[in-house]
Amino acid sequence: MARNLQHSMLPRPDGEELARQRYVLALKTHLGRRLRPGNRVIWEQAAQPAFEREHGRAPADRGEIAEAMYAEPGYQAWSSLNRCAQEMMWEAVGEAVFRDSPRMREEYARLSGERAAGGSLELSDDFALPNAIRRINIHLQPGGYARDEDPADIVAGAFYEAGGALYSMGQSVGTRESKAELVQRFIAERHPGFRPARVLDMACSAGASSVPYALAWPDAEVHAIDVGPAMLRYAHARAEALGARVHFHQRDVVDTGFADGSFDLIVSHNAMHEMSQATQAAMMRESFRLLAPGGVCVHQDVPLRYSELDEFMRFERGWDLRNNNEPFWEAYATNDPERMLADAGFPQAQISVGYFEQIDGSMRWFLAAARKPA
Ligand SMILES: C[S@@+](CC[C@H](N)C(=O)[O-])C[C@H]1O[C@@H](n2cnc3c(N)ncnc32)[C@H](O)[C@@H]1O
């Protein structure tokens, strides 16, 4: 199920809005694929020699590499443009989201009223949003995941899906095997014949990765949790529009409130890199507690392992931490999911951590998976 899937909850850009979105996409693609590799050239040919001339030694760490790189006009230009392109992306998406939001709100009311696919939505009036979510416009998304202006607000979800689609097309993953499809293929290869009756998608956002489980296993009871209320309203209506029976709940991955052994399969997609290490570890513990004997968990995320990078690339890949409101970028890049899964209770022999390659593209996703003993 491709990321560019169409449904009635998606904001509908008019011609001019679409033209601006396409411009941003072209700009982001150019900055990411054509110009970004030049940052190493700037480092090797200008910043590093300048640092060594001044200090009489090589930079000790990525903090000193940053100091040297931010003094270079070429890197300054790339970094500023990259930041501007991210801001422009949300502006371009926001034009369509706000203009079209009366229609989307009506669509939300209709779809959540009819519940034609049989899904549900459970929000909590006194839910305590984690500070990290409440205080941050994550990756510069206006209002972040916590945005919630009124009881029918769906803007955060619309922003997330439309912005995410543009962002992922820039990384050429938009039309190819989705993260959820890849995880399903991983499960089929590792555990032939495994067919879950109850599935939980943790930190589901707009539900783009929850829906493929409901469609792949229509007999399964699929639940999805997140903390953002407007994200969940949108996710619920979106799933209904796509004919997928998913039960969405406003819950924290740290303490989900479900009973022990409630699920056969627990997944998360691109979630760890937006959580502190304490929250990531808690999500693994909660996965162990919530799995029934023989159950499987697969936590998928972006390929960002600092252990595989030299110190320059750690600085370079750390751009999002410094410039794109991604406070947990390094907490994820330096985490140890294998250890977290073992500490959560999974036997070492049942843990598998590593990359799994997209079947029809160049993307490889990072998977931290484990099975609870039967
Ligand atoms: C990058 S998005 C996930 C994308 C989504 N799984 C997908 O595949 O489209 C990260 C999500 O994690 C959620 N999140 C962060 N901390 C959380 C927590 N403690 N409990 C539940 N959800 C959390 C955020 O609200 C956000 O929606």
Tens-digit pLDDT profile for residues 35-47: 999 999 999 999 9
Q: What is the pLDDT of residues 266-285, one digit of tens each?
A: 999 999 999 999 999 999 99
133 lines ligand 1 (CB under 6 A): yes
* Residue 349 CA, ligand 1 centroid: distance in Å: 28
Mean pLDDT over 207-224 rounds to: 97
Give the residue-averaged pLDDT of 332-352: 98
CA 253 to ligand 1: nearest atom: 20
| Residue 144 near ligand 1, beta carbon < 6 Å | no
Task: Report the residue among 168, 204, 211, 366 best suited for mutation to probe ligand 1: largest number of ligand atoms under 8 A from its CB.
Answer: 204
Q: Whose CA is nearest to atom 13 of ligand 1?
A: 203
Q: How confident is the model at residue 172 (pLDDT cuts 50, 70, 90)?
A: very low
pLDDT recorded at residue 1: 47
Whose CA is closest to atom 11 on ligand 1?
203
Query: Residue whose CA is closest, atom 20 of ligand 1?
Result: 252
Residue 187 has pLDDT above 50, yes or no: yes
Establish whether residue 256 lines the binding site of ligand 1, counting it when its CB lies within 6 angstroms of any ligand atom.
Answer: no
Q: Give the pLDDT of residue 5.
A: 76
Q: Given ligand 1 and candidates 135, 140, 205, 284, which is best to mutate, with the most ligand atoms within 8 Å of its CB?
A: 205
Q: Which domains does the chain have, with CATH numbers?
A: 15-118+131-168 (no CATH), 177-371 (3.40.50.150)
Q: Write the secondary structure of the chain as one string of H (helix), E (strand) and C (coil).
A: CCCCCCCCCCCCCCHHHHHHHHHHHHHHHHHHHHHCCHHHHHHHHHHHHHHHHHHCCCCCCHHHHHHHHCCCHHHHHHHHHHHHHHHHHHHHHHHHHHHHHHHHHHHHHHHHHHCCCCCEEECCCCCCCCHHHHCCCHHHCCCHHHCCCCCCCCHHHHHHHHHHHHHHHHCCCCCCCCHHHHHHHHHHHHCCCCCCCEEEEECCCCCCCCHHHHHHCCCCEEEEEECCHHHHHHHHHHHHHCCCCEEEEECECCECCCCCCCEEEEEEECCHHHCCHHHHHHHHHHHHHHEEEEEEEEEEECCCCHHHCCHHHHHHHCHHHHHCCCCCHHHHHCCCHHHHHHHHCCCHHHEEEEEEECCCCCCEEEEEEEECCC
205 Cβ inside 6 Å of ligand 1 = yes
pLDDT at 169 over 70: no
Reported confidence tier of residue 171, pLDDT bands at 50, 70, 90: low
- In the structure, what pLDDT confidence band is assigned to residue 173 with cuts at 50, 70 and 90? very low
Give pTM, 2 decimals: 0.96
